[in-house]
């Protein structure tokens, strides 16, 4: 392996400045904490992140809205507004699929457009827009919506490892995305599949088509190679890399900001961020993890098996839980092998939303029922009928016949995805409903919203250490009186109660 030290002269023009896109508030907690990044967790570090010098801070995606309402009982619009206002010096970013929000199915164009418009109205100044099958008409429309509302739009290329996802394939897709008037190109490796060698050739192919547009690298660490791949990416011409604060980095997440910046500087690149602001963020997140019993990011070992199933790391826990509920947790690897077979049969869809979910769900059903494709989810039917777009490779004819033979499949033969106007959708909730509330009601079940609204909003103070909280819990559990008073430094707590 060649040395990376003082290797920046391998890039065109010699020493360059590499920008960092921060994922501490979005992909980091999405990967490690199931998207449970509440306002109380994010606000105390927002000012530090804002002044660190990041090119962009990624903040929100549609699924986060659902999680905040359902599991955190928190208004996601309030969180978005609060955090974006707390970071006035940095461009704040949101991500969206081109043809769906929250659902793994399809969302009407009118709703997609309103979603982007309302995000812009609340401070979002940059978007990454993805579509695993590259429906350029859908991507192009959202690019224009974002730009007309004052935001930049960077279409995202989702990496997949297959005989069909060649450098030439991705170069052609890059040309199409550049032609849409994009403000840059993002390459995402959600499953950590890239090798240094492939990173080098792929980034070079994408950069050759992107020209002067910035190219971003967003590589997950599922297979331990992403820190090295980042070096290869910038040497091949990438302009920006994505990272997260160390407690929410590594493993199923992205490389840590601390390590990424150090590596880039050792390799001879400039990185204009204020390192002194990284430690307070790290300490806060470690404390939060201790108080809320949340995991802290940890590296994983390289596994060749990852290339067989290509499962994004954050999904592994979901499938294990599904199998555990059925008393079949010991069949997890069987599900992964089935996913590999299904992916080939369905024409090698990229393992990212919604395709990773539909392949994974079909695999669980095939294993649980013992009769492959005897039960087929609606999303697989949508895919097989081409409603998501054209598959990269042909679908296996025998599998397609079996899928299409079901009574439910026949209902899709003459079906067209509904495209209601916003005026039609408003009738369900009342014509005076605000745009923000309309989006929320379309994204999240009404019952969950009603429960969230009825739950008193609380602010959690994470100033205590996890050791102090553990001691308080112990005292409460062992107290036999009706009065308990605790003092710790400047902290006082008095509890009264009947026993």
- pLDDT, tens digit, for every residue of 87-130? 999 999 999 999 999 878 899 999 999 999 999 999 999 999 99
pLDDT at 10 over 80: no
Whole-angstrom distance, CA of residue 275 vs CA of residue 255: 16
**Domains of the chain: total:** 3
Q: Quick one: 232 and 311 in the same domain?
A: no
Determine the pLDDT at residue 1.
Answer: 43
Residue 88 belongs to some domain of the structure: yes
Q: Quick one: 176 and 46 in the same domain?
A: yes
Q: Quick one: 92 and 121 in the same domain?
A: yes
Q: Quick one: 282 and 139 in the same domain?
A: yes
| Average pLDDT of the segment spanning 325-349 | 90
Compute the mean pLDDT over every residue in the chain, rounded to the nearest whole number: 90
Percent of the chain at pLDDT > 90 equals 72
pLDDT at 321 over 80: no
Q: Quick one: 164 and 123 in the same domain?
A: yes
Determine the pLDDT at residue 352.
Answer: 86
Which residue among 411, 431, 456 closes a domain? Answer: 411
Residue 475 belongs to some domain of the structure: yes
CA 403, 405, 409: angle at the middle one, nearest 5?
70
Q: Quick one: 257 and 342 in the same domain?
A: no
Q: Quick one: 286 and 323 in the same domain?
A: no
* Domain hosting residue 121, numbered range: 19-292
Residue 433 belongs to some domain of the structure: no
In sign, the C-alpha dihedral spanning 396, 397, 402, 405 is positive
pLDDT at 438 over 90: yes
Q: Quick one: 250 and 160 in the same domain?
A: yes
Residue 480 belongs to some domain of the structure: yes
How many whole angstroms from its chain centre is CA 112? Answer: 18
| Average pLDDT of the segment spanning 467-479 | 58
The 10 Å Cβ neighbour count of residue 251 is: 21
How many whole angstroms from its chain centre is CA 433? Answer: 29
pLDDT at 81 over 90: yes
Indicate the pTM of the whole model. 0.89
Q: Quick one: 225 and 79 in the same domain?
A: yes
Q: Quick one: 228 and 351 in the same domain?
A: no
| Average pLDDT of the segment spanning 163-173 | 97
Residues 6 or more apart whose CB falls under 8 angstroms from that of 330 comprise: none
Which residue among 259, 292, 325 closes a domain? Answer: 292
| Average pLDDT of the segment spanning 456-472 | 69
Percent of the chain at pLDDT > 70 equals 88
pLDDT at 268 over 90: yes
Residue 250 belongs to some domain of the structure: yes
Least trusted range by pLDDT, from 14-18, 74-78, 374-378: 14-18
Residue 121 belongs to some domain of the structure: yes
pLDDT at 147 over 60: yes
Which residue among 260, 292, 324 closes a domain? Answer: 292
The winner for highest mean pLDDT among 9-18, 180-189, 371-380 is: 180-189
Q: Quick one: 225 and 317 in the same domain?
A: no
* CATH number (domain holding residue 395): 1.10.472.90
Residue 203 belongs to some domain of the structure: yes
- pLDDT, tens digit, for every residue of 245-259? 999 999 999 999 999
Determine the pLDDT at residue 472.
Answer: 58
Better-predicted residue by pLDDT, 404 or 468: 404
| Average pLDDT of the segment spanning 338-361 | 92
Residue 449 belongs to some domain of the structure: no
pLDDT at 238 over 80: yes
* CATH number (domain holding residue 63): 3.20.20.70
Determine the pLDDT at residue 237.
Answer: 97
Least trusted range by pLDDT, from 258-262, 424-428, 457-461: 457-461
pLDDT at 313 over 70: no
Q: Quick one: 274 and 333 in the same domain?
A: no
């Amino acid at each position: 392996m060649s040395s990376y030290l003082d290797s920046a002269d391998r890039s065109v023009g010699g020493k360059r400045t590499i920008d960092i896109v921060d994922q501490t508030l979005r992909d980091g907690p999405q990967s490690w904490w199931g998207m449970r990044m509440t306002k109380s967790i994010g606000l105390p570090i927002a000012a530090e992140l804002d002044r660190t010098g990041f090119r962009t801070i990624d903040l929100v995606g549609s699924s986060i809205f659902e999680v905040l309402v359902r599991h955190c009982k928190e208004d996601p619009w309030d969180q978005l507004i609060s955090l974006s206002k707390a970071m006035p010096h940095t461009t704040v970013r949101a991500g969206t699929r081109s043809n769906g929000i929250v659902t793994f199915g399809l969302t009407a164009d009118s709703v997609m457009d309103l979603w982007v418009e309302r995000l812009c109205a609340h401070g979002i100044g940059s978007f990454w827009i993805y579509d695993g099958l590259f429906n350029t008409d859908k991507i192009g429309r959202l690019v224009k919506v974002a730009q007309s509302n004052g935001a930049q739009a960077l279409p995202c290329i989702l990496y997949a490892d297959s005989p069909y996802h060649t450098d030439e394939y991705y170069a052609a897709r890059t040309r199409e995305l550049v032609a849409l008037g994009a403000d840059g190109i993002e390459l995402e490796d959600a499953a950590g599949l890239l090798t240094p060698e492939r990173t080098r050739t792929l980034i070079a192919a994408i950069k050759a088509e992107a020209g002067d547009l910035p190219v971003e690298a967003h590589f997950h660490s599922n297979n331990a190679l992403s820190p090295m791949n980042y070096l290869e990416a910038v040497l091949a011409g990438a302009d920006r890399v994505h990272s997260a604060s160390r407690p929410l980095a590594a493993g199923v997440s992205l490389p840590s900001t601390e390590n990424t910046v150090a590596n880039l500087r050792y390799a001879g690149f400039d990185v204009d961020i204020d390192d002194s602001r990284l430690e307070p963020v790290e300490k806060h997140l470690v404390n939060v993890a201790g108080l809320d019993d949340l995991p802290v990011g940890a590296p994983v070992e390289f596994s060749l098996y990852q290339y067989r199933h290509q499962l994004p790391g954050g999904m592994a826990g979901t499938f294990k839980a599904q199998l555990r509920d059925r008393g079949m947790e010991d069949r997890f690897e069987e599900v992964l092998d089935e996913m590999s077979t299904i992916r080939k049969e369905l024409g090698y869809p990229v393992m990212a939303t919604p395709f990773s979910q539909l392949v994974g769900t079909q695999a669980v059903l095939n294993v649980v029922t013992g009769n492959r494709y005897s039960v087929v989810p609606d999303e697989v039917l949508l895919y097989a009928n081409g409603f998501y777009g054209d598959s990269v490779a042909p679908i296996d004819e025998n599998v397609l016949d079996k899928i299409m033979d079901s009574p439910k499949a026949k209902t899709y033969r003459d079906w067209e995805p509904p495209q209601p106007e916003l005026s039609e959708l408003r009738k369900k909730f009342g014509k005076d409903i605000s745009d923000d509330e309309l989006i929320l009601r379309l994204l999240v079940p009404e019952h969950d919203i009603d429960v969230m609204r009825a739950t008193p909003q609380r602010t959690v103070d994470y100033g205590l250490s996890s050791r102090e909280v553990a001691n308080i819990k112990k005292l409460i559990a062992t107290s036999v009186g009706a009065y308990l008073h605790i003092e710790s430094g400047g902290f006082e707590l008095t509890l009264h109660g009947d026993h």
